Amino acid sequence: MGRRQFVDVGPLDLEAGGRLPAVTLAYETWGTLAPDRSNAVLVQHALTGDSHVTGPAGPGHRTAGWWQDLVGPGRPIDTDRWFVVAPNVLGGCQGSTGPASTAPDGRPWGGRFPYVTVRDQVAAEAALSDRLGIDRWALVVGASMGGMRVLEWGAMFGGRVRALAAIATTAQTSGEQIAWAHTQIAAIRADRNFADGDYYDAPEGDGPHVGLGIARQIAHTTYRSTRELDERFGRIPQHGEQTLGGGRFAVQSYLDHHGDKLARRFDANSYVALTRSILSHDLGRDRGGVDAALADISARTLVVAVDSDRLYLPAQSERMAAGIPGAVLRTIHSDFGHDGFLIEADQLGPIVTDFLAEG
């Protein structure tokens, strides 16, 4: 369990049809909720993130918080001032209801887990807000897939948010982004151990780890920039190996490492479910198009782009900032690509600090 807390938010009717009869969300909190409940901040994690935004590694948390430099005492989102809540997303595998959870028949959902969209995930978070007694968030902030949920909070529950911060994200998943996601899902499903998602009874170690690892390698390539990969690795052989005749390049070993690392901590079914939710992301669906949906967002909004991001392009951030009334656009310079939102805390921190101060 670690620092996680759990709340039953009840049944959830799903946008694409069907129903989850019972939904549990895992979450963590930091700071103290003000008597008037005006200081609550909701932090949204990315695809393979979790609720452990800040704090040390320890029981239940294999690594330290993923946004340590941004959230904590004296940091840009100062937990001495703000009450920070970070839920594990619906469909995830870190305590919230997902494919590994128990279905009504007593077995894991597995491959039967229903299609959940970004809007479903936000609806579950709104139910969590109700259970916590938070009528309005001072800020909803997140990056990448988390930024998609930030935007949906603004579109679905505009009266419940004072401010939004959407970082390295998009208002609508593009054709290229769908293509990258498709290959990742295909890699997992092609693993013979995936068994159509019903692998939870397999002997330990026999899950679809190879397919999940390959999916992560594809994703990680899109998370970093061409410049970084070329300058850091180029055509350097791994440990001086002869690359002609079976040797490996250093960049191949690097990707294998990241694939193996994720396969040891994440569930393949959740990776598929969450990636499919990214495919569903379209702020303009049933709202008259993206531009109309952006124009209807009333919360004060910060949009942050990473200039070397080749997954969620700066032009997509520019479109969001141009479409949301009064939105502020800031750009981070980074050689690291999309992952700049995690790495460039020295730039992102002051941007968030200034935005909060202006509110």
101 labelled catalytic: no
Q: Which of 282, 334, 338, 339 is catalytic?
A: 338
Cα-flanking dihedrals φ and ψ of residue 116, to 5°? -115, 140
Give the Cα-Cα-Cα angle 259, 217, 339 (nearest 5 degrees).
100
DSSP string, 173-195: --HHHHHHHHHHHHHHHHSGGGG
- Decide if 15 contacts 31 (C-beta within 8 A): no
- Closest alpha carbon to 131 in 2, 17, 40: 40
C-beta separation of 132 from 85 below 8 A:
yes
Cα distance between residue 23 and residue 17, in whole Å: 16
Q: Sign of the CA dihedral 275, 343, 229, 209?
A: negative
**Residue 309 designated active-site:** yes
Which residues, including other chains, have CB under 8 Å from residue 177's CB and lie 6 or more apart? 170, 278, 311, 312
Annotated catalytic residue, options 144, 270, 277, 280:
144
Active site residue 13: no
CA dihedral 213, 217, 219, 225 (to 10 degrees): 160
Q: Which of 309, 317, 334, 339 is catalytic?
A: 309
Catalytic sites, residue numbers? 144, 309, 338
